[in-house]
Amino acid sequence: MELAQWKQEYLDRLNAMTNGELLDETIEMACGDDYDGCHTRRGAWKDIAAHHALYERLRAMGFLTEEDVTRMQTNTGDLD
């Protein structure tokens, strides 16, 4: 299954971020993407993607184990 263009562009942007930028993006997306602090459908997907990217970055740096990442990703949802 091929991702929509905006999804791939967002994933590419996440991968290009520094650690601080990725953390900021994850925190910002966790607060919602509309004026009420909720998520639109696109915002919900971006929130999950940002969390997944942060978990993977932390795992790669040795701050999280593979088990930690799997458990956290199970709690945040899938990127479908």
pLDDT in tens, 48-64: 999 999 999 998 999 88
Query: pTM higher than 0.85, yes or no?
Result: no
The reported pLDDT for the residue numbered 68 is: 80
List Cα–Cα distances, 33 to 10, 40, 41, 60, 67, in angstroms.
14, 7, 10, 28, 30
Pair of tokens at residue 21: 């930028």
Residue 17's domain comprises 5-76
As a whole number of angstroms, the distance between CA 26 and CA 22 comes to: 6
* Residue 61 main-chain phi, psi, to 5 deg: -85, -5
User: Using alpha carbons only, what angle is made at residue 63 by residues 7 and 25, rounded to the nearest 5 degrees?
Assistant: 35
As a whole number of angstroms, the distance between CA 35 and CA 43 comes to: 12
Give how many domains the chain has, as a whole number: 1
